Amino acid sequence: MGKYKREFIWFLIEFPDNHKEWYCVSHVLREALFAERSVNQYWKNTMIGNYITVSISKYVNGRARLRVGKVTKIRILHHGSKDYHWTRNQFVTPDHLKNFSDAFNYLKHNYTWYNKLAIATSLYYWHNELLRSRNRQLKKKIRHFRYLLRKQIQK
C-alpha cells in the first residue's frame, strides 16, 4: 500500500431518488481495489454497477444513518473526505442482488434497526429496478424476434 498512500478512490453513488453524491472509499476497500488495479487494467469495471452501503449523515456517538447506493463512476484523487462521505466495506454485485434475502443478510451487518430498515428499503428499490431492466431487455429481444419473423413471412 506504500505508493498508494496519498491516493483516494472516490465513487459517484446514485441513490434510489436519483440523487448522486461523491463518496470516498473506506481504507480496507481501497487497499483491495488498489491490489485489483495492479493485476487488472479494467479494475474500475469490477465496481461500477455494484451496490454499496454508505453513510448519509454525520456520525454521532460512533453511529450514522446508512443507505445503499449504486456505484456509477470512479475517480482517484489525492484527498479524502473531511465529513461523513465515506463508504462502508460491504457491497453486493447485481448478480448477488438477484437473491434479495441473501444480499440483505450480507449488507445488514450488525447495524441498528433503523439502518437495517433503510438498507432493506434501498435494496428493495434496487432489486426491483434490476428485475425491471431485465424484463425490458427480454421484451426488446421478443420484439426483435417478432420483427424478424414477420420479415421472413413477408418474403
- Which residue reads 454497477 in cell numbers? 49
Q: Is residue 126 pLDDT above 90, yes or no? A: yes
Buried b (16+ CB within 10 A) or exposed e, 92-122: bebeebeebeebbeebbeebeeebbebbbeb
Q: What is the pLDDT of residue 3?
A: 57
Distances (CA, A) of 34 to 9, 27, 85, 134: 9, 11, 20, 32
Confidence of residue 4 (pLDDT cuts 50, 70, 90): low
Host domain of residue 34? 2-154
Helix ranges (DSSP H) in the chain: 27-39, 94-97, 100-107, 113-154
- Could you read off the pLDDT of 41-60 as tens digits, one per residue? 999 999 999 999 999 999 88
Name the one residue in this structure whose C-alpha cell is 434475502: 101
Q: Give per-residue pLDDT as tens, 53-99.
A: 999 999 888 889 999 999 999 999 998 888 889 999 999 999 999 99
- Cβ contact 107:117 at 8 Å: no
The widest CA-to-CA distance across the chain, in whole angstroms, is: 73
Count of domains forming the chain: 1
Model pLDDT, residue 45: 92
Place of cell 426483435: 144
